[in-house]
Amino acid sequence: MSIQKQSLPFCGLNLKMYSTGKQAPAFEYQASSTKAKFQCSLTKKLYDLTEINQWINSPEVQRYVQAGYVLKWGSKIQQGKASQYSNGMELAITCYMVKPYNQSGYANNKPQQQYYQQANQGYHLTDDKLPESPRQEIDWAKESPTDFNPDQYERELG
C-alpha cells in the first residue's frame, strides 16, 4: 500500500506595482508605500511590509515552515486594467513558500529548525589561539610582531 503525500496549496504574499509609462533607467513600475499592501494567497488578508514577520508566524504559514518549506521571492509582469493614466501593465512581486531542492529532487530530510540550530552553532574555521581573558590579551599583545619566520613557514607548508 502506498502512502500519498498531500500537497499544500500555493502560499505567498503578493504585491502589485503599476506601470509608470516610463522606460529604464527611470522607474517603470511603482506603488505607494502608504497604500500598497501584500495580500496573502491563503487568507486574502492584507499585510504591510513591516508585518511580513506576522504573516510568517501565522498558523496557516507555520504549516509550511514545519513541513520544511523555505521563502523565495519572484516577480512577473502581467496585463491589468488599462486606464487613462496607465497602459494597464502590472508588476506582481511575490514572496512565497517552496520546498527546498537538492540534487536528487525536492527533499524534506530535516525540519527547518535544524538548519537554524546548525547555523547558530557556528564553526571553528581557524587554528589560531585567540585570547580568552583580558590578561591573556595583554600577554598576547606583548609578543613581537617580528617573530614570523618565513623559512619555517615554507617548511611547514611543504
Q: Is residue 35 part of a domain?
A: yes
Q: What is the pLDDT of residues 39-67, one digit of tens each?
A: 999 999 999 988 988 999 999 999 999 98
The answer to whether the predicted template modeling score (pTM) of the entire model surpasses 0.85 is no
**Is residue 60 a part of any domain in this protein?**
yes
Q: Residue 89: which of 81, 98, 97 has the closest Cα?
A: 81
Residue 87 falls within a domain, yes or no?
Answer: yes
Domain annotation covers residue 77: yes
Mean of pLDDT over the chain? 76
- Decide if 54 is inside a domain: yes
Per-residue pLDDT tens over the stretch 71-112: 999 999 998 888 777 788 899 999 999 988 765 555 555 555
Is residue 1 included in any domain, yes or no? no
Please give the C-alpha separations between residue 89 and each of 16, 29, 31, in angstroms, as whole numbers: 10, 9, 13
d(CA 65, CA 43): 17
- Looking at the structure of the chain, the number of domains it has is 1
In a domain, residue 72? The reply is yes
- Which residues constitute the domain of residue 48? 12-121
Measure the CA–CA gap between 17 and 146, rounded to whole angstroms: 61
